[in-house]
Amino acid sequence: MFLSVSIAFFCFASGVLTNSLITPCKVNDLVCVDKSIKGAIPKILVGIPELGVESSDPIFVDQIDGNLSIIKYKFFNTTITGFKNCEISNFKLNEDITAIKYDLNCPKISLIGKYEVSGRLIVLPVEGSGDFQLITGKYSIHVDSELKKGTGSDGKTHISIKNFKLKSKALSPIKFDFKNLFNGQKDLSDTVHKFANENWQEVANQVQDLLF
């Protein structure tokens, strides 16, 4: 997860969490760590070129593949915006610095690009290719990251992401707009769009894990 990558820039010495981005904290002082992380996140999202941190808003993704049992989709040349407005809550860093957990709360995330899709959307057949736009409402993303330590060329201990798991939940309606469904057959396209927009939570539950 892009926010977890920021952890790779934290240096640890004698149990003290230090970095130019954040206020120094004892690792077990979770109140201080939480406050410092929340203060650093806006800077990280904008990007910090001198630390090699690229901007997280917008994000450009060449290809996203979704290969599920009843539906297969691909998104191409996708631009994702909205992460800069997300807020972190429930941040937890264990004392031996091997895991972090947090909730990412986003008011809106927008995806724009090209798509290909075929299969069934819950109960309806769907197929097509063309331009798409997907605009979410409120979204909650729980991030559970496993960390690993290593010694850098500077002789200091750094950590990086070893593995992570995401659990996402749409909290308000999502707007789906997929051009040229069914090769432009408007009646079929309107039916699928009506179903998706009215059943946004079920649709999100079906496709969101691979997407995120």
Amino acid symbol at 19 = N
Q: What pLDDT does residue 94 have?
A: 80
SS (H, E, C) 161-202: EEEEEEEEEECCCCEEEECCEHHHCHHHHHHHHHHHHHCHHH
Residue-wise pLDDT for 167-194, tens only, equals 999 999 999 999 999 999 999 999 999 9
The 8-class DSSP code of residue 204 comes to H
Whether the Cβ atoms of residue 71 and residue 58 lie closer than 8 Å to each other: no
Burial (CB count <10 Å: 0-12, 13-18, 19+), residue 54? exposed
Residue-wise pLDDT for 94-136, tens only, equals 877 788 888 989 999 999 999 999 999 999 999 999 999 999 9
- Mean pLDDT taken over the chain: 83
Q: What pLDDT does residue 185 have?
A: 96
Q: Is the dihedral of CA 45, 50, 53, 58 positive or negative?
A: positive
Q: Which residue has the higher pLDDT, 77 or 145?
A: 77
Question: For a pLDDT cut of 70, what percent of the chain falls above it?
Answer: 88
Whether the Cβ atoms of residue 119 and residue 68 lie closer than 8 Å to each other: yes
pTM score over 0.85: no
Q: Which residue has the higher pLDDT, 31 or 27?
A: 31
